[in-house]
Structure 1
Amino acid sequence: RAAPVAEQHEVPMVSSGASSDAIFNNHYHYLFSVLTPLSRQFEGVIDMALAQNPKPQSLAIMFASDSLNQELATATADYAQAKGLSLVSGSSYTSGVNDLSSQLAGAAGSGADLLLEAGHASESVRTIQQAEQMKIQPKLLAFSDGPGTAQFTQELQAAANYSVGTTQWTPGTRNRTSYFIDSFHYSLAFADQFGHMPDQFAAAATAACLTLEVAIEQANSAQPRWVRDSLAIIDLNTFFGEIKFDDRGASAVKPVYVQQVQAGRAVLIWPPEVATARPRYPDPGWAKR
């Protein structure tokens, strides 16, 4: 709702929350977002899996029925197939549902190497619980939300291990910086100020503020049109990742990072240049957790 207002009044807005391609495809002139578009959320997971041995051949996708997760599922299927993977199963479920057994049975019956779920944190927990009960074991279980959060690991305990998740940023991200401080020192300063470590949402908000600040400095003016034009050509290496926008105002180059729960804690496994651990693949099975 904010984007049309910014457009109407010709005031540049740098968002830390907009990620849907449905927003960016309106081609607003005054909207910019530091978040990697939703359509690219699973790209790193697929790239990571394809770099492993044995190389996966197929995937199944489960997704919540809301519009954002439908958008993500469609984009993920297109990307996976473009990379040579076979989509052997796709099923939706009502957001917040407690029983995912029929969707899991369909995915297992397809023999998919990878099982990706586009949904919400509570659904990822339930998927793990039911997959373990049903002895369903693909080579990789990956989620758009859940792995990487403390609640996910606390609820699932050992069952959380080997699960893969996506995030816009983590405190361990070792990005090259040309402005401001790196992730390590940002996290320390944030924790000192607020009493807890920053999450991806706090980091995105900080990155959005930094980006607007630099755009004003580079424009040498607070005049809205000049700041907007400065944002359109900005290229900034920050702790959050590289900030650069395409012609829609979407983040053009920053990846979505991939995490995996290993020995009870989330570690960054992709992209390789910023990873803090190697992927553990294929999943060894429930008995070995």
Structure 2
Amino acid sequence: MYLKPICWNSMEQSVTFLKPSLVRSQLATEIIGRRIIYFRNIDSTNTCALEMAARGVPEGTVVIADEQTRGKGRLGRHWRSPPGKGIYLSIVLRPRIKVEFLAYFSIISALAVAETVEGLSPFPPDIKWPNDILLHHRKVAGVLVELGTENDLVSYLIVGIGLNLLQKEEDFPSELRGKATSILIEGGKVFCREEVVVKLLQNFDHWYKVLLTSGATPIMQRWRDYSHHWIGKEVKVVTPEGEFFGISEGIGDDGRFLVRKGDGELKEVWAADIVSLQEVNK
């Protein structure tokens, strides 16, 4: 479903605060958004959601903010979160799964965001493994999954989502220009943030229920629709143990990234940064 912009070709918009009551009134989900906790300003929605999950808030609780001062990205990076410009939220899940199934939650999160972006952009999004959402090879959204465990089981999961919606080029620091983008930059349209949040949460609710009821197969099929362009590309894989080069063979059914090294060895990667050498050499 494509959302209708509230104005066209507008680079001038004032900061408006999110209205959680409007989100609640429009939301049609079974699990996600049972409780919505809103802040105008917070250090990190993920940090807050982790603390609340440890205290027992119910599954489906959503923490959302207009601004984050210490927003979290993958691998310890900072997620820039200027006030009123994006969607910054975290979802509490309690799936009671084994840790080895954790990768699927990054995948359903990326799917939910990609489908939301697809309804906002004139251009189709790409998913860069594991859960970066790109428009024109620039990052428009990202996902961070954090967890609490008990006896080798996941007792709760926090899915943090950041989506750049209304940022202009000058809203990004110089080191991110050309690497990060927003829905406004790519399409010149301004969307109601409440409607975007509703669509995002409904997409997430759908894929979470698919995972719980039907397993990973339909999820992996849909994920590959957004990431097939990575297959056959020469990539650099940066892991905590070091880096190596190879040809991408996509992802396995367990969510691991598959890379064929020059010596023929197939590497299955759980956690890494993937860099397309074609994009680097342009």
TM-score, normalized by length of structure 1?
A: 0.30
- Higher RCO (CA < 8 A, seq sep 6+): 1
Instruction: Give the number of the structure whose alpha-carbon radius of gyration is greater.
Output: 1
TM-score by length of 2: 0.31
